[in-house]
Amino acid sequence: MKVHALPDVEREVRRRFELLSRSYSEAEVRCRPPAPHVLLRLLDEAFWTSISRDEGRPCRLTIAYYEHPPPGEDLAIALDAKQLDRRYLRRLAAVAAAADAKIAVTGGEQDLHIIGLAKRFRWHTDTSDSPVEIPIEIEVVGPGDIVLRWAHFRMLTYRGGEILEPAPNILYLDGPFLQALNRLAATDGIPGKDDLKHTEPGEDISFNLMNLLRRVERNAHGGLFILSSTRPRKIESVSWPIVNHTIGLADHYRPWWDNLRRFHLPEDHTDKLSFDALYTAQEELKFLQSEVLTLAGSLALTDGAVWLNGSLRPMAFGVFTEFTPGLSVHIAGNVAATDLQPRQFDDLGARHRAMVALAGHNIGCPAIAISEDGGFSAALRAEGRDYVFMWASFQGKDLEADDLLDPQRLAIRQNLLTRTKRA
């Protein structure tokens, strides 16, 4: 969706907030965007900061806007208030990014101020159900590249003068690759995306794998992954076997689902969770989830592939596979792999040959390669096939265009709400 100016972005953000509000009752989710001039000012300062540099470094930061000043314990560092200005954002960007903190901003239409660095240590020490204000977050990802979030929802991605819409993606749309992911996830403790009774949109294997790929893509090194519940076949060597029981996403899935169940209990139930309490509890689990993905993504910095199971639990890294001359490869022109073009195995680059070889030797096990310059390719040998599907044209932009308000995701989420209320 092409837009001409930031006021168009502001209007689209407001429309999406209205859509989100209509999707839930007021008791379930209380959300509203800032006043139009406030939101436009935040977007304007974030945009101009995104195309600036600080001491030669690109500015990467997240602004957390609070309508009311947050409690002191919500701020890792409280500062004397300074007028919101891109110069101050630029100077704080490196500090906030290194601390994995957000630049806290509060105030009204005429008096927006930077008040500190937000990093909610209270989540780790306070077990009460006291209400919390959920800030609007504006993340500066790159030059002219802005993501706006509220709570668990990505509200909008604005990049290069365009509001990104959900793109065809093998991680989300039904096809052989997603079906293979679902089978592996169910085997290793995470119900697949087609099991709506147990799936929270945004927290399934597809979404987590997408986040993992984004992390690797940002390190500008590239990487290679094979997903398998058992040791992959035709492995030539493994440089670094992992011998302990590392954390996987299945370890955080059960408490996540239990929190959602408690959220949908009747109002008078003693175990009922409010939305504020749910948000706080889920942020704790998202922190665990983020750490799991960061660890797995960092292993891709070594030579060779990273072996993950269906819970994205790292099993080994520095994995090298046998190359099979003459392996048959077909490039898939769509998600369903019904439009196929043959490709010579030897014409592929080294990383992509390794990806295809891993997939070819391990039926039903997805393999993914991330290029050094961004974007990813995927391969899978489906049951009953003597050749490998390869998806070669899915770029990083498709991974970023994860819009929790697109009709397909809203339908899944509404189905979830209906089923859990009946449980």
Higher pLDDT, 227 or 161: 227
Evaluated on CA atoms 334, 216, 179, 408, the torsion sign reads negative
Strands 388-391 and 329-332: parallel
| Cβ 76 vs Cβ 117: under 8 Å | yes
Mean pLDDT of all residues in 100-113: 86
Q: Name the percent of the chain lying above pLDDT 90.
A: 36
| E-strand stretches of 130-174 | 136-142, 145-150, 153-159, 162-163
* Among candidate residues 142, 145, 179, 180, the one with its CA nearest the CA of residue 161: 145
Q: What is the pLDDT of residue 253?
A: 73
Query: How far is residue 164's CA from residue 294's CA, in Å, rounded to a whole number?
Result: 25
- Picking from 48-52, 303-307, 399-403, which range would have the lowest pLDDT averaged per residue? 399-403
Q: Name the percent of the chain lying above pLDDT 70.
A: 81
Q: What is the pLDDT of residue 357?
A: 95
Q: What is the pLDDT of residue 389?
A: 94
Distance of alpha carbon 313 from its chain centroid, rounded?
A: 17
Task: Give the tens place of pLDDT for each residue, 328-373.
Answer: 999 998 888 998 999 988 888 889 999 999 999 999 999 999 988 7
Average pLDDT over the chain, rounded to an integer: 81
* Among candidate residues 85, 77, 122, the one with its CA nearest the CA of residue 101: 77
Mean pLDDT of all residues in 206-235: 87
As given in the structure block, the two tokens for residue 222 are: 């590239």
Beta bridge partners of 53: 58
Query: Structural domains in the chain?
Result: 6-164 (3.40.1700), 176-399 (3.40.1700.10)
Mean pLDDT of all residues in 44-62: 89
Evaluated on CA atoms 15, 18, 24, 29, the torsion sign reads positive
Query: How far is residue 52's CA from residue 48's CA, in Å, rounded to a whole number?
Result: 7
Query: How far is residue 244's CA from residue 82's CA, in Å, rounded to a whole number?
Result: 48
Instruction: Return the top range by mean pLDDT from 155-159, 353-357, 416-420.
Output: 353-357
Instruction: Return the top range by mean pLDDT from 99-113, 159-173, 384-398.
Output: 99-113
Mean pLDDT of all residues in 234-251: 87
Rounded to two decimals, the pTM is 0.64
